Amino acid sequence: MKRAMQLAALGAALACVAVAASVAARGQGHGKTPVNPAVTFAKNCATCHGKDGRAKTFKAKFNHARDLTDAGWQSDVTDERIFNSISNGKGKMPSFKKKLTTEQIESLVAYVRGLKK
């Protein structure tokens, strides 16, 4: 009986160690997931601005979404203004500061710059 209790206690202790090691291993070696601006754009922006940024969607016409590929607009607008428009919204465009991280918004600014014709 004493031997059985000792084995049960040892088994429980080993199980606890295994669980603790598993939890610790999940947290190690896994840094932050890199931001993919194309995915962020597709999920949050393409509905209005279109997959290519040209604003050729029904929703874009209804909401007067900007053509992000327009060279004139691209040369006139600053990165700060693009960042603020995404963060705070502008006109009919909603604010994304509660939905996206600063890093995601910064990556979208660079992505939008890459859409220039």
- Rounded Cα gap, residues 61 and 56, in angstroms: 7
- Rounded Cα gap, residues 93 and 47, in angstroms: 11
User: Where are the chain's structural domains?
Assistant: 1-31, 37-113
CATH topology of domain 37-113: Cytochrome Bc1 Complex; Chain D, domain 2 (1.10.760)
Band of residue 34 on the pLDDT scale cut at 50, 70, 90: confident
- 96 vs 31: which has the higher pLDDT: 96
What letter does residue 57 receive in the DSSP assignment?
S
Q: Is the pTM of this model over 0.75?
A: no
pLDDT at 15: 46
User: What tens digit of pLDDT does each residue of 82-106 get?
Assistant: 999 999 999 999 999 999 999 999 9
- Rounded Cα gap, residues 62 and 24, in angstroms: 51
Q: Do 82 and 93 touch, CB atoms closer than 8 A?
A: no
